[in-house]
Amino acid sequence: MITITSRPWGEPCDYAHAVLGSFADVALLFSALRTSYSGASSLLAWDVLDVIEAHNAHDAWAWLHDFSQHPPEEAGTWIGYLSYEAGYASPPPTKATCPAFPIMRFVRYRFMCRFDHVTQSIFSDDASWESLMHCAEKPRAPTPMPCPLPHATMMPPDAYLDHVRDAQEHIAAGSFYQVNLTRKESGQWHEPLTPLHAWALFTRLCARSPAPYSAFISHKDSYILSSSPELFVELDAHGHISSRPIKGTLGREHASEDLHRSEKNRAENLMIVDLVRHDLAQVARVGSVKVPELYSVDSFRTVHHLSSQITAQQHPDATLATILRALFPAGSMTGAPKRAAMRWIAEHEGVQRGVYSGALGWITPREAMLNVVIRTLIATSQYYEYQIGGGIVMDSDPHDEYTETCIKARGLERMLYGD
């Protein structure tokens, strides 16, 4: 029986930096921004015990199904991600741009600490605390800022505008009501990226674009640096399910009230709320699906977002795997109806999204907290990419939609190139 004990407080990022001096494979799920609904805790894990990778959707869901059947005390907590393409029944007809990232990867670590930002306490077992203190006693390794070469777009502005207009033609024809169109930017590093290089970038990202569902994952020459503001799903030990989709954005140069009053943004948000309600109803007790918050404005460093909260109580027959399968991928990243929107996305975006717009976080067989992978840099020692997009509806202005993607990219660009 492992005993978890409360320890004296220390900042998660300080300890993560210390651990990176001794371990290359480290994960930090970091609440970089406190909000009324999240940001209460962070999770730091290091020293890999087990790794599960899947290279196709069938294998990913098969593992999640098996994992859901295990006793939580035996399975433990795993940290990782599920890529967007896991949401397709068959492989999409597009190619991956970063093969270093399989369609799913979850890792179980030997050591783990939970940071409670409310009580200013750290919770860990004795072995994890001993390892953490050993790492903290060493001098901090330097964190040089890497130098990215200029990035290139995989979808030029004119092509993005054309795709917006094409989407609107499909909306007019009744193919779907809304679709999420994204574009990918990619580049290379001047010198090979190391874990400490990646950490330097992540700390800059948190300073310039703090978010409640941030994440840093370093694993065998692959890196995920996320400042996601969006919750995909939270499942607690009592079977309470919560999702908080974001749909509706304005730059911080506008007043938050402008976003709250926007009929276009409200309509976008409501479409996705209805989609999530429908998805949750498949795995929820009858009558338990609720919308306790509708059209809430959340203000971040560079943007205002319109979000809503949908909750439900887990059906007795539902498992972690069936809940994820019902909700995945996030409706805010597809559009509605989901399958029709995803078919259009596969035909028009040209490349696989990969980790972007998938889900990332921690899972046990009975509980989970996963973000929507947006505002995220995906990298290897040689290569980096990020992706931005937005929801297209009938009354979208193509130029405004493209401008919105530029606004969403600000935090990542400031991380890469400075202010």
List 85, 185, 230, 385, catalytic entry: 230
Gap between the Cα atoms of 178 and 387, Å rounded: 19
Q: Which amino acid does the sequence have at 206?
A: C
Q: Say how many residues make up the chain.
A: 419
The DSSP result for 262-318, as a single string, is: -HHHHHHHHHHHHHHHHHHHTTB-TT--EEEEEEEEEE-SSEEEEEEEEEEEB-TT-
CA distances in angstroms from 385 to 27, 30, 194, 375, 412, listed in the order given = 20, 21, 16, 11, 10
Residue 339, classed as helix, strand or coil, is helix
Annotation marks residue 264 as catalytic: no
CB within 8 Å of 227: residues ≥ 6 apart: 32, 205, 206, 209, 210, 211, 214, 375, 376, 411, 412
**Contact status, residue 284 vs residue 315, Cβ threshold 8 Å:** yes
Of 247, 385, 401, 404, the active-site residue reads 247
Nearest to 150 by CA among 353, 384, 381: 384
Q: Contact, 174 vs 229, CB < 8 A?
A: no
> Following CA atoms 307, 308, 314, 318 in sequence, which dihedral angle do they give, to the nearest 10 degrees?
-50
Strand partners, 217: 27, 224
Known catalytic residue: 11?
A: no
What tokens does 411 get? 């935090």
CA distances to 68, 77, 164, 355 from 105, in Å: 16, 13, 33, 10
Cis peptide before 139 (omega within 30 of 0): no
Reading the block at residue 397, the tokens are 């202005």
Catalytic center residues: 230, 247
